Amino acid sequence: MSDILTQLVEGIPVPKLVKIRQSFDATILDNPIEDLIQRLRAAASMSEIKAGHKVAVAVGSRGISRIDELTKTVIDELKRIGAEPFIVPCMGSHGGATAEGQTEVLAHLGIDELRMGCPVRSSMEVVLLEHLPNGLPIYCDKIAATEADAIVVINRIKPHTAFRGTIESGMFKMISIGLGKQKGAEACHQLGFKYMAENVPAMAKVMLQKLPIKFGVAIVENAYDQICRIEVLDPETMEAREKELLVEAKSRLPQILFQELDVLVIDYIGKNISGDGADPNITGRYPTPYAHGGPEVNKMVVLDLTEESQGNANGVGTADFTTSRLVSKTDWPSTYANGLTSTVCAPTKQATTLANDRDAIKAAIKTCNILDYTTCKLVRIRDTLHLGVIEISETLLEEAKANPRIEILEGPYEWTFDEEGFLPK
């Protein structure tokens, strides 16, 4: 079958590439670790944690800049005051919705017992805390809820990939969905993304009342995946401040500086990059009708899966084409668990699969609905976290030259495929 598909795309021309640099606000914290230490020591909520207290440090599955160092800093500061911290995986259904899988996800992010100097206590058991007025149950990780004297949550603030609201992806989502484990995530998603902007904060507020959550470490990144702000938020100010930080995070979101594309090629998708494998805020390919933004892309290709994603290819279904290599790396039950939990199943479907990178890219060009294939407007990115230096087709060169935020670095040049039709890593 792959031979037939190769024949169907054999004569499709692939445009030459030009390497460019896109410019965004590059504001960063010079020393985020020192900044975090100072903020922790100044936080009134930190003084509520006493020597001997067992503290659950909730950490998620995203590839946040320096997340291992930030987590280690929180743990070290808790130890400094005599507390006994331990790490709780805080990631809903990720890691295949298993305790072992979630431990492995953290290890891939550099967060394990040896490096952190404290236990990692992973379990999918939950306790029922209460119900919302609409009937949705509110769950929490059993270890954190019943064995911790205090809970600390660490997460990045950024726009969500499937809904819009004054609170999207950040502290409240980490509490309601992350700490809720698979059952909590499932409950929060049960009525669909249409109501997530209401249910995420509603659940989180109940959990803040019921649980000993002392503070959250909120991180905002610039467009280059670097830390530009860290704040320690106490439960009383968390909601109001998260809303303000989301506005800032949206203003700093990177983007592809071309609004209409025939083809978008993405080298890697993965759960460490985005909950949707590739951030829809960047690609314009959303899994629900409740979010919007980004470029207009006719056809999208995803070529490979990150090692950190542990076989979870959620998001591949939002692409039009993929490769046999990505499919062979995919743990489909783990991927399907995402759809069964979120109730959004289209992103977990297998995209049309070609033998290699070259054929997948040609297939996208062939089907992008243009009369002359040589005029294809194409952009290639490594992943949606890295948009500083990208590649564009020669056909976009004049548009790039006219944009003051774009610098031409190199090209035009031909693609380099190996004998099997894959791009070099």
Q: Are residues 19 and 45 in the same domain?
A: no
How much is the average pLDDT of 164-192?
A: 93
- pLDDT of res. 1: 52
Q: How confident is the model at residue 100 (pLDDT cuts 50, 70, 90)?
A: very high
How much is the average pLDDT of 180-199?
A: 92
Percent share of the chain, pLDDT over 90:
87
Which tokens hold the place of 49? 């944690």
Q: Which of 235, 252, 269 is the last residue in one of the domains?
A: 252
- pLDDT of res. 61: 81
Q: Are residues 236 and 208 in the same domain?
A: yes
Q: Are residues 152 and 200 in the same domain?
A: yes
* Number of Cβ within a 10 Å radius of residue 394: 17
Q: Are residues 245 and 266 in the same domain?
A: no
Question: 260-269 and 296-305: which strand pairing?
Answer: parallel
Chain centroid offset of residue 54 CA = 29
Q: Are residues 300 and 214 in the same domain?
A: no
Q: How confident is the model at residue 275 (pLDDT cuts 50, 70, 90)?
A: confident
Indicate whether 67 belongs to any domain: yes
Number of folded domains that form the chain: 2
Q: Are residues 242 and 312 in the same domain?
A: no
Indicate whether 420 belongs to any domain: no
- pLDDT of res. 423: 96
- pLDDT of res. 87: 97
Which tokens hold the place of 95? 């890691």
- State which H helix or E strand residue 25 sits in: none
Indicate whether 279 belongs to any domain: yes
- pLDDT of res. 103: 94
Residue 341: pLDDT over 90: no
209 CB-near residues (< 8 Å, 6+ apart): none
Q: Are residues 187 and 304 in the same domain?
A: no
Q: Are residues 373 and 348 in the same domain?
A: yes
What DSSP state is assigned to residue 80?
H
Q: Are residues 239 and 305 in the same domain?
A: no
Helices within 162-299 (DSSP H only): 171-173, 181-189, 196-210, 238-252, 280-283
Which tokens hold the place of 228? 């530009």
Q: Are residues 363 and 245 in the same domain?
A: no
Paired strand residues for 23? none
- State which residues form the domain around 236: 32-252
- pLDDT of res. 94: 78
Indicate whether 425 belongs to any domain: no
Q: Are residues 405 and 302 in the same domain?
A: yes
For residues 21 and 389, is the Cβ–Cβ distance under 8 A?
Answer: yes
Indicate whether 423 belongs to any domain: no
- pLDDT of res. 2: 67
Indicate whether 424 belongs to any domain: no
Indicate whether 300 belongs to any domain: yes
Span 123-166, pLDDT tens digits: 999 999 999 999 999 999 999 999 999 999 999 999 998 899 99
Question: 150-156 and 213-221: which strand pairing?
Answer: parallel
Q: Which of 231, 252, 273 is the last residue in one of the domains?
A: 252
Q: What is the DSSP string of 352-398?
A: EEESSHHHHHHHHHHTS--S-GGG--EEEESBTTB-SEEEEEGGGHH
Q: Which of 252, 286, 305 is the last residue in one of the domains?
A: 252
* 296-305, strands of its sheet edge to edge: 352-354, 321-323, 296-305, 260-269, 378-381, 389-393, 17-22, 406-413
Span 349-363, pLDDT tens digits: 999 999 999 999 999
Q: Are residues 149 and 219 in the same domain?
A: yes
Note the pTM of the prediction, 2 decimals. Answer: 0.85
Instruction: Identify the sign of the CA torsion 115, 116, 121, 126.
Output: negative
Span 283-332, pLDDT tens digits: 999 999 998 889 999 999 999 999 988 899 999 999 999 999 999 999 99
CATH number at 128 reads 3.40.50.11440
pLDDT, averaged across the chain? 94
- pLDDT of res. 403: 97
Indicate whether 419 belongs to any domain: no
Span 244-266, pLDDT tens digits: 999 999 999 999 999 999 999 99
